[in-house]
Amino acid sequence: THAQNNLVFNVDAAKTTISKQIYGHFAEHLGHCIYGGFYVGEGNTKIPNTNGVRNDVIDALKKLKIANLRWPGGCFADTYHWKDGIGPKNKRPGMVNAWWGGVTEDNSFGTHDFLNMCELIGTEPYLAGNVGSGTVQDLTDWVQYVNFNGKSPMSDLRQQNGREKPWHVTYWGVGNEAWGCGGNMTPEHYADVYRQYATFMTGWSNETKIFRIASGANSKDYNWTEVLMKKIPLNMLGGLALHHYSVIEWRKKGPAVDFSEQQYFETMQSALFMDSLVTKHSAIMDKYDPEKRVALVVDEWGGWYDVEPGTNPGFLYQQNTMRDAMIAGATLNIFHNHSDRVRMANLAQTINVLQAVLLTNEEKMILTPTYHVMEMYNVHQDAKLVPLTIKCNNYVVGNEKLPAISASASKDSTGAMHISLVNIDAKAAQDISITLEGGNYKTVGGRILTSAKLQDHNTFEQPAKIKPAPFQGAALKGKTLSVKMPPFSVVVLELK
Ligand code: AHR
């Protein structure tokens, strides 16, 4: 027997919208994310595709309701020259992917390919501009090329290349990790560079108001946020980024599948640290922007482990287990609960790289546990956050502990309430008692994601080992909801 977990949801106090843009993804020219992942080439007769983009991928991402897709990097973005990726494919120059494996690529997947693909998936593109090795003119031209509706050299070129109407791209990253691979800049220097780029990016979007996102802090570099907020005028800044990976130690990341409980615990410590990070970065932003006009954009997050044995270390290919489902469920709950400031996020990365939602192998494609969590959770998109207070048991390993339960809830436009719960504890089931303040719900249903072992994962041979199942462990009596969760499980409840 153990203490109870008590959650109180103040249903009547729901007012902040959980932006669906929190459900964004990230596609870099890295390993087999683009080439072999999204894109298999127009001439491919073995793998069904639309303009070279895999049909199975398009279908899976449509179902997932991914809100936005960030491209082409990552570190790659600050080496990418977009003009090399337009026009007839056989005339495009090649390039060497200096950050990721040193492989030569032929630029066959470029701006048109990416933006048309976003239309097929039904997601908003988020273009990451090259600040590190590009020019202000290049980035300005890119905005003009994709967004300008009048007659201009760049819109003429776009039309020559087969696209009549602009794509209306709203989200623009002004460089990536400017403190590191994006140019090793100081925050003071980057703030000035940002202001310069941001100035010339405007004006070419006569129908779309562009949303500019500054390259943000590396995890707990609070000074980065402080300097940028101080030096960049609020009206030039749509969002400020933040990157944080769930990693045990950069030099000793450990395996993606055959990890120990201690390694699981340390991964979850790093994942749950996101709560403290967004709290502290938000507090700094509040000083300069009390009205919360600028969004905190966590445009890289996820678990990072050693690559699978025998794969190219520069390709960052890793399997995805129930541990990743725990990271996803807990992190999304953190974002929801901070949705007044965290209004956009991007999981790294969509296919075959880091904490992927999809893995491909030739004509085969599988959905990972992370995919299932994001699919179960997408009911929260653009719903109103229901504030929560939580008292819960600890999950203890050795001398250290973590809260066993992670939770969040929202009310959608039909009035239905969704509660997402994660039992992080690898060993103990948890009984949860939930009090609903306000609301008038009569029924509860739900789905659960769990498995026999924490290390379980889907494979190309056994693609549906882990998938959501109907959940029978919740009972509603008046204003009290009782839930029993098995160890390492994710549950999403629906109350009507
Ligand atoms: O997602 C992999 C890499 O991690 C990205 O390219 C970079 O921005 C970050 O360091």
Using CA atoms, how far residue 355 sits from 176, 368, 375, in Å, is 19, 9, 15
In degrees and rounded to multiples of 5, residue 92 shows phi and psi of -75, 135
The alpha carbon of 40 and the centre of ligand 1 are apart by a number of angstroms equal to 23
**What is d(CA 6, CA 1) in angstroms, rounded to the nearest whole number?**
15
> From the CA of 304, how far away is ligand 1's center (Å)?
10
CA distance 485 to 368: 21
Give the ipTM of the model, two decimals please: 0.99
Indicate if 18-382 has the same CATH topology as 5-10+386-495. Answer: no
Residue 392 has pLDDT above 70, yes or no: yes
Cα of 496 vs centre of ligand 1, distance in Å, is 41
DSSP state of 316: -
Name the closest-CA residue to atom 2, ligand 1.
Answer: 74
Distance CA 403, CA 168 (A): 43
Residue 424 near residue 491, CB atoms below 8 Å: no
Q: How far is the CA of 179 from the centre of ligand 1 (A)?
A: 12
| Cα–Cα distance for residue pair 128/62, rounded to 1 Å | 22
Ligand 1, pocket-test mutation among 176, 221, 304, 307, most atoms within 8 A of CB: 176
78, 174, 177, 347, best to mutate for ligand 1 pocket (most atoms within 8 Å of CB): 177
Ligand 1 atom nearest the C-alpha of 77 is 6
Query: What is the model's pLDDT at position 1?
Result: 42
Mean pLDDT of 452-464: 98
DSSP 196-229: HHHHHHTTS-SS---EEEEEEEETT-HHHHHHHH
- Position of tokens 């769930």? 246
Mean pLDDT of all residues belonging to the chain: 97
HSE-CB at 76 with a 13 A cutoff on CA atoms is 26
Of 374, 362, 359, 363, give the one whose Cα is nearest residue 458: 359
> For 5-10+386-495, CATH number?
2.60.40.1180
pLDDT at 435 over 60: yes
Q: What is the DSSP letter of 82?
A: G
Percent of the chain with pLDDT over 70: 99
**What atom of ligand 1 comes closest to residue 100's alpha carbon?**
6
Q: Which amino acid is at 52?
A: G
* pLDDT tens readout for residues 316-356: 999 999 999 999 999 999 999 999 999 999 999 999 999 99
User: Active site includes 300?
Assistant: yes
**Domain residue spans of the chain:** 5-10+386-495, 18-382
Q: What is the pLDDT of residues 179-205, one digit of tens each?
A: 999 999 999 999 999 999 999 998 787
Query: Of 124, 177, 266, 375, which one is the catalytic site residue?
Result: 177
List, chain by chain if needed, residues with CB within 6 Å of any ligand 1 atom: 28, 73-75, 176-177, 300, 348-349, 354
Q: Is this structure's pTM higher than 0.80?
A: yes
Q: Is the pLDDT of residue 120 over 70?
A: yes
pLDDT(3) > 90: no
Q: Which CATH architecture has domain 18-382?
A: Alpha-Beta Barrel (3.20)
The protein residue whose alpha carbon is closest to atom 4 in ligand 1 is 74
Nearest to 288 by CA among 343, 242, 226, 344: 226
| 269 CB-side CA count, 13 A | 12
Quick check: is 400 catalytic?
A: no
444 CA to middle of ligand 1, Å?
40
